[in-house]
Amino acid sequence: MQYSCVFFNTGSIINYIFTQSVSEKSDKAAKFFPNAFGPDCRKDQKDNTILSFRDTRCPFIFKVQILLYQGMIRFRTEGIYCEAGNFYIDPWKPVDMALITHGHADHARWGMKRYLCHEYTVPILQSRISPDIKVQGLTYNNPITINGVKVSFHPAGHIIGSAQIRLEYKGKVVVISGDYKVQDDGLSTSFEPIRCHEFVSESTFGLPIYNWLSVEEYNRQLQDWVLKNQSIGKTSVFIGYSLGKAQRIMKALEGVDKLHVHYAIGKLNQAYESVGIKLPEYHTIDLREDVKYLDKGIVILPPSLADTNVINKIPNRATAICSGWMQVRGARRWRSADAGFAISDHADWNGLLQAVRATQAEQVYITHGQTAVFTKYLNENGIAAQEVETAFGTEDEEEDTNNKLSTEE
């Protein structure tokens, strides 16, 4: 990790400024102050890390402090902060200015004075947070400047409108990727690799066991499953997150039969359609009404309904869960579903590695998911990586309800 470090001491005898790797910081300090007591670490009001050493060699230098300035972004208690630009990216506490990578609830939260996001995310935020929020939409690859920081949004391939946020300041480039996948799902604009000095990545499925099939293969599997159900007189019920997954299931089954979606999904579809996104034709259902007409048809429901009684109203149903977690044996049985398809809007193990390598970043931060394993793997393979604590991963891909499906996140 590159830090600008300022050495100073209370007797103002030495004052060094240099850049060093944080993993070397203790070594260097120890070499410089061989008689130093171990460092004690604290943060100042601006969230700078201060390491203090005491040196017994010299009576003047009774205390030396290293002030660690962390590049362009900082991980603060409110969220990821860009000090030069004075804004946050996907903050989890209310702040003045929030740049939002995408519309999932753990990345786009209530309470920000102003929001900036991709233009397709604008109606999603208005629908999920409030129609009255102050929000500005940008297109991809269209930089603006905020307090001297060049800011641009680039496709993340996660869901429609999802963006990696690129920050450039004084020749340094940082990319905060939010959630992403490198597979092209045919709906979201495909992931764009961006060279940068520092890369902030998720690792939801950062274990080598996660390897997705191609989108075409999954589409074929979904279609075959529907046809098989119809041949034995069953209604095909798909469970998938209403923002992202549901639209992909619709796309996969376009033309197979009429698509019936729960109104929670319909609401988000409308938000997309309001900005000109073309989705496959669908019919919105309300399970409080009589739904016998769904017999042998295709139904798409959000996960919040999977374990409720209303789902029993659907006649002769076979249920399939569409989620990356389905790749783990037993997950399907545990949710008592008839089928499970490991379809995810997140990158799999190889996708994560591919994305990280493509950035050629000298420092990578891992925000959520399988952070320990993925960070260790990167460091062992010559890529400096560090786990950071964030509030992401709690609601992503799991609706707004407390769903069991993603407790492993």
Q: Which residues pair with residue 67 across a beta bridge? A: 6, 50
We find the least distance from the C-beta atom of residue 185 to Zn ion, in angstroms, to be 13
Q: Which string of DSSP letters, residue by residue, matches 342-360?
A: ---SS--HHHHHHHHHHHT
We find the least distance from the C-beta atom of residue 364 to Zn ion, in angstroms, to be 16
Q: Which amino acid, one-letter code, is at 92?
A: W
Q: Which residues in this chain contact Zn ion in the complex, by CB under 5 A?
A: 104, 179, 392, 396
Name which of 218 and 392 has its Cβ closer to Zn ion.
392
> Is residue 349 within 8 Å of 208, Cβ to Cβ?
yes
Q: At what angle do helices 245-252 and 263-274 cross, to 10 degrees?
A: 90
We find the least distance from the C-beta atom of residue 392 to Zn ion, in angstroms, to be 4
Name which of 179 and 198 has its Cβ closer to Zn ion.
179
We find the least distance from the C-beta atom of residue 128 to Zn ion, in angstroms, to be 12
| Dihedral over Cα of 209, 214, 217, 218: its sign | positive
Name which of 229 and 403 has its Cβ closer to Zn ion.
403
Name which of 185 and 396 has its Cβ closer to Zn ion.
396
We find the least distance from the C-beta atom of residue 26 to Zn ion, in angstroms, to be 33
Name which of 168 and 397 has its Cβ closer to Zn ion.
397
Name which of 7 and 191 has its Cβ closer to Zn ion.
191
Name the burial class of residue 386, with classes exposed (0-12), middle (13-18) and buried (19+) by CB atoms within 10 angstroms of its CB: middle
d(C-alpha 146, C-alpha 154), whole Å:
17
> Is residue 120 within 8 Å of 158, Cβ to Cβ?
no
Name which of 179 and 185 has its Cβ closer to Zn ion.
179
The H or E element that residue 118 is part of is: strand 114-118
Q: What is the DSSP letter of 231?
A: H
d(C-alpha 380, C-alpha 167), whole Å:
28
We find the least distance from the C-beta atom of residue 260 to Zn ion, in angstroms, to be 25
We find the least distance from the C-beta atom of residue 180 to Zn ion, in angstroms, to be 9
d(C-alpha 279, C-alpha 393), whole Å:
27
d(C-alpha 344, C-alpha 330), whole Å:
17
3-state secondary structure of 391: coil
3-state secondary structure of 349: helix
Name which of 168 and 399 has its Cβ closer to Zn ion.
399
Name which of 169 and 374 has its Cβ closer to Zn ion.
374
Name which of 198 and 396 has its Cβ closer to Zn ion.
396
Cα→Cα distances 36→23, 48, 291, 381, Å: 18, 21, 75, 33
Pairing relationship of beta strands 298-301 and 235-239 according to DSSP bridges: parallel
We find the least distance from the C-beta atom of residue 396 to Zn ion, in angstroms, to be 4
d(C-alpha 70, C-alpha 50), whole Å:
11
We find the least distance from the C-beta atom of residue 368 to Zn ion, in angstroms, to be 6
Distance of CA 281 to the CA centre of its chain: 29
Q: What is the DSSP letter of 372?
A: H
We find the least distance from the C-beta atom of residue 121 to Zn ion, in angstroms, to be 11
